[in-house]
A and B are shown apart, each in its own frame.
Chain A
Amino acid sequence: MGKRSRKIVARIIGRLWRLFRRWLFLMFTFGPMPQHIAFILDGNRRYAKKHNLKMGAGHTVGFNSLVAVLRYCYELGVKQVTVYAFSIDNFRRKPEEVKGLMALMKEKIDELLDEDTIVHKFGLRINFWGCLHMLSEPARAAAERAMAATANNTGPVLSVCVAYTSTDEILRAIKKSCSKKTAEGCLRFTGDPVRDGACSAIAVADLEENLDSADCPDPDILIRTSGETRLSNFLLWQSTLTHLQNPLPLWPEFSLRNLIWAILEYQRVYPYLEARRRSLAKKHN
Chain B
Amino acid sequence: MLSSLHLNPTLNYATLNYSSTLLLLRGSRRRTRRGGANDSLVSTAHPARQYPSLSASLAPAREEERKEEALLPPHLRPESLPRHVAVIMDGNSRWAKARGLPSSAGHEAGYHTLKKMVELSCQWGIRALTVFAFSSENWTRPKMEVDFLMTLFENVLKESLGEFLREGIRICIIGDSSELPQSLQKLAKEVVDKTKNNTQIDLIVAISYSGRKEITQACQNIAQKVKDGLLEPEDITESHIEEELETNCIPEFPNPDLLIRTSGELRLSNFLLWQSAYTELFFTNTYWPDFGEADYIEALTSFQNRQRRFGQRIN
Contact = CB atoms under 8 A, between A and B. Distances in A.
B270 interface: yes
B84 to A, nearest CB: 14
Interface in A204-252: 204, 206-207, 227-233, 236-237, 239-248
Interface stretch (A69-77, A89-97, A102-110): A89-97
Interface stretch (B125-133, B155-163, B232-240): B232-240
A92 B311 contact: yes
A117 interface: no
Contact of A90 (B1, B219, B238, B311): B311
Nearest to A91: B311
A89 B311 contact: yes
A165 B226 CA distance: 24
Contacts of A140: none
Given A178-B233, A179-B233, A248-B1, A240 B277 contact: no
B313 A94 contact: yes
A89 B310 contact: yes
A248 B21 CA distance: 40
A239 B272 CA distance: 12
A240 B311 contact: no
B313 A178 contact: no
A45 interface: yes
B279 A230 contact: yes
B140 interface: yes
Interface stretch (B61-69, B109-117, B181-189, B207-215): B207-215
B276 A236 contact: yes
Interface string B208-232: 0001110110111011001100000
A240 B215 CA distance: 13
B44 interface: no
A170 B137 contact: no
Interface string B1-27: 100100000000000000000000000
A174 to B, nearest CB: 5
Nearest to A244: B266
B34 interface: no
A64 interface: no
Contacts of B4: 229
A174 B222 contact: yes
A155 to B, nearest CB: 29
Contact of B241 (A45, A171, A188, A202): A171
A240 B273 contact: yes
A6 interface: no
A4 to B, nearest CB: 47
Contacts of B281: 229-231, 244
A187 to B, nearest CB: 4
Contact of A182 (B139, B226, B273, B282): B226
Contacts of B227: 186-189
Interface of B: 1, 4, 47, 136-137, 139-140, 211-213, 215-216, 218-220, 222-223, 226-227, 233-234, 236-238, 241, 265-270, 273-274, 276-283, 306, 310-313
Given A201-B223, A244-B267, A248-B1, 20 more contacts: A171-B236, A175-B233, A175-B236, A178-B222, A178-B223, A178-B226, A179-B234, A181-B223, A187-B227, A207-B212, A229-B1, A229-B283, A230-B280, A231-B277, A237-B273, A240-B211, A240-B267, A240-B270, A243-B266, A279-B140
Interface of A: 45, 87-90, 92-94, 97, 165-168, 170-171, 174-175, 177-179, 181-182, 186-189, 201-204, 206-207, 227-233, 236-237, 239-248, 269, 272-273, 276, 279-280, 282-283
25 contacts: A93-B313, A94-B313, A165-B277, A171-B238, A175-B236, A178-B219, A178-B222, A178-B223, A178-B233, A182-B233, A201-B220, A207-B216, A228-B306, A229-B4, A229-B280, A229-B306, A231-B277, A233-B277, A233-B311, A240-B267, A243-B267, A246-B1, A276-B137, A279-B137, A279-B140
